[in-house]
Amino acid sequence: GEDVEQSLFLSVREGDSSVINCTYTDSSSTYLYWYKQEPGAGLQLLTYIFSNMDMKQDQRLTVLLNKKDKHLSLRIADTQTGDSAIYFCAENGSYNTDKLIFGTGTRLQVFP
């Protein structure tokens, strides 16, 4: 079946690195995504990784993919208070569908 799991909360001090983890079950996913959602708002795409890649770096963001363990992580370097939000990982599922399967989201709280 299709399932994406994330830890619910993460609290970090401003300036530290944050690591948000995600596990998924569908090994046929082509892409995996990280979205950010601020209170009352829609989802903002942060980054994505192709399933045959191990790592992708985009400015302060680093995505690591362990396809064998079906584990995805998002590292935010030099975390700022403006990074406080809910972060969702998502996979694009099987070949015969175009829907995204989302995790429950990780609430990141950054304190000074």
Partner 1 sequence: DTGVSQNPRHKITKRGQNVTFRCDPISEHNRLYWYRQTLGQGPEFLTYFQNEAQLEKSRLLSDRFSAERPKGSFSTLEIQRTEQGDSAMYLCASRKQGLDDSDTQYFGPGTRLTVL
Smallest distance from the beta carbon of 100 to partner 1, in angstroms?
6
Interface with partner 1, residue 92, by CB under 8 A: yes
| Stretch near partner 1 under the rule CB under 8 A, chosen from 11-19, 38-46, 58-66, 68-76 | 38-46
The smaller minimum CB distance to partner 1, of residues 31 and 61, is found at 31
Strands 9-13 and 106-111: parallel
Cα three-residue angle 86-53-84, rounded to 5 degrees: 15
Is residue 45 close enough to count as binding partner 1 by CB under 8 A?
Answer: yes
Give the number of other Cβ atoms within 10 Å of residue 81's Cβ.
10
**84: which residues sit within 8 A by CB, 6+ positions away?**
108, 109, 110
Q: Does 57 bind partner 1 (CB under 8 A)?
A: no
Q: Tell me whether residue 10 or residue 101 sits nearer to partner 1 (CB atom).
A: 101
In the complex with partner 1, which residue's Cβ is closer, 43 or 64? Answer: 43
Is the CA virtual torsion 68, 6, 97, 38 positive or negative?
Answer: negative
CB of 48 to partner 1, least distance (A): 5
